[in-house]
A and B are shown apart, each in its own frame.
Chain A
């Protein structure tokens, strides 16, 4: 069996890739996918930890995170659509009405 520590390290790496992606990517949809990647990295460690501790808390937490992620997809895509109707772009650099 794979030791829990390995899974935790993998999950930390995935989380970091996701976080860096949010910061460097400019397309709203890709940014959003990077956020999802962060959430799924957390899910991975939750499952591993659930196994480690021998209780189901982590696995239940995963279900809750998945439900919340689904809600965020629905809301996020609706917001992107509302912007695309005004201005045909998903590039966050061009959505720059509000600054300073």
Chain B
């Protein structure tokens, strides 16, 4: 019996916090506490749970690899994923703290579902068995379907949820069929046993291809991205920030584990599939972002493009590639959640209309709120890959890993895409500095303390992470396994 329950203690804390939040809400209703006060309590409880889980994960780093019945594994990869997910979650809860009261009174439900999504992602990073992987994928997806449509006062939220749900369920079908075909090839669903049996032939290739389609949907890779801009635009902004980062991180880690299990499929076969996905995803994401008017939708397309950059690291398949993927996900958590946090502050206060701000709403932001404009500039420059910000180092490591593995054209395509993306990021920056504030410039004032804290943390991360974390990257390489012997 391999029952090292200690490895899932952070996940258990998160699930327990979700239950506590629901109970605390019942108690709050029983003593008829005012909604605003209850909202603060729920957010506070959620925050405590997230921070405790993050601290416990930090304590676990460096401990030996242990598993639970070969279903869940506690290794460095899963611990770093926990940190990425929890970081994105903490920033998003700070963002949601005062944002939620604008459109809902169901705080407890929001935070409980949010925590369950976090738990699903953390389990997904630890899952080394196809059923476990599928169930954790569904836990996070189902929670996110509801969170996407949480703003019930407006049609856009419901529409986003419906599109996300239908395509998400559709992709689950592909994921399942892929898992079934791997079972057909080997007779087992344990990833370690699948790797040991080294299956070949039609079932393995087809199974991996279908799993890739399933992951492609979850990662919003082109051509499986149709749901993403709509879901990201219609969802409440804290949810958008969270799911654009954390879902990607969890799905990338799970994809790495599946690729490790199907090591018998030749590198030349799957790496080409991933490389083409990477090229399509970043090119289409950036080109579509060029013509957006809504700030949130532009950031949604930009997050599609960023999934494309991360695919470059997966295609490289080397240890350096894996390190670059993890590094990029960390950097991305800071800069992307930060950008969405600023975008949330520019939204119009109407209850029933679509709330997301146009890019024109950023006009003259520098004149009105200089610090907010500077923070947004840093996030956008980092997303564009400007040195010495975190995004630059992330892209640099990805491209270096690609060149080392012989994917020169892919690295060049990535660099060209960064240039294209600079255009639409700079468009926002120009509009913030070069124009006078207009009627359309709306800033939610006063800036509340929690969201200011979130933006400050994100700025600090964006500026410092790239410089400070480079030594950390080399220590990482000892713990992460390469996909292919190269």
Contact = CB atoms under 8 A, between A and B. Distances in A.
A20 to B, nearest CB: 12
Contact of B161 (A22, A35, A39, A82): A82
Residue among A19, A99, A100 with most chain B CB within 10 A: A100
Interface in B174-202: 176-177, 179-180, 183-184, 187-189
A100 B288 CA distance: 8
Contacts of B467: none
Interface string A57-76: 11011001100100110011
A83 B155 contact: yes
Contacts of A58: 180, 183
Given A35-B173, A64-B135, A98-B230, A82 B158 contact: yes
A39 B168 CA distance: 13
B172 A28 contact: no
Main secondary structure of the interface of B (DSSP, over half): helix
Contact of A82 (B130, B152, B172): B152
Contact of A79 (B145, B172, B291): B145
Contact of B162 (A18, A22, A28): A28
A45 B152 CA distance: 39
A61 B129 CA distance: 11
Given A19-B173, A35-B170, A97-B155, A75 B145 contact: yes
Residue among B160, B162, B180 with most chain A CB within 10 A: B180
A79 B162 contact: yes
Contacts of B165: 72, 75-76, 79
Nearest to A68: B138
Interface in A24-75: 28, 31-32, 35, 38-39, 41-42, 45-46, 49, 52-53, 55, 57-58, 60-61, 64-65, 68, 71-72, 75
A55 B187 CA distance: 8
Given A79-B145, A86-B158, A97-B155, A61 B131 contact: yes
A49 B180 contact: yes
Contacts of B149: 79, 82
Residue among A15, A35, A98 with most chain B CB within 10 A: A98
B138 A95 contact: no
B460 interface: no
A72 to B, nearest CB: 5
B189 A76 contact: no
B233 interface: yes
Question: What bracket does the count of chain B residues touching chain A fall in?
Answer: 35 or more
Interface in B132-176: 134-135, 138, 142, 145-146, 149, 152, 155-156, 158-163, 165-166, 169-170, 172-173, 176
B146 A75 contact: yes
A79 B150 CA distance: 10
A8 interface: yes
A97 B134 contact: no
A58 to B, nearest CB: 6
Contacts of B135: 64, 68
Contacts of B146: 75, 78-79
B173 A39 contact: yes
B484 interface: no
Nearest to B233: A98
A67 to B, nearest CB: 9
Contacts of B234: 97-98
Contact of B188 (A57, A76, A79): A57
Contacts of B187: 49, 53, 55, 57
Nearest to A87: B155
Contacts of A55: 187-188
A80 interface: yes
Nearest to A37: B173
Contacts of A83: 155, 158-159, 162
B169 A15 contact: no
A32 to B, nearest CB: 7
Given A68-B138, A75-B142, A79-B165, A95 B159 contact: yes
A64 B145 contact: no
Contacts of B159: 83, 95-98
22 contacts: A8-B184, A19-B170, A28-B166, A31-B166, A39-B176, A45-B180, A58-B183, A61-B180, A68-B134, A68-B135, A72-B165, A80-B162, A82-B152, A82-B161, A83-B155, A86-B158, A92-B166, A95-B155, A95-B162, A97-B234, A98-B159, A99-B230
Interface of B: 130-131, 134-135, 138, 142, 145-146, 149, 152, 155-156, 158-163, 165-166, 169-170, 172-173, 176-177, 179-180, 183-184, 187-189, 229-230, 233-234, 291-292, 354
Q: Which 3 A-B pairs have the closest CB atoms?
A: A38-B173, A53-B187, A83-B158
Given A42-B177, A61-B179, 8 more contacts: A35-B172, A49-B184, A53-B187, A57-B189, A61-B130, A64-B134, A79-B145, A98-B233
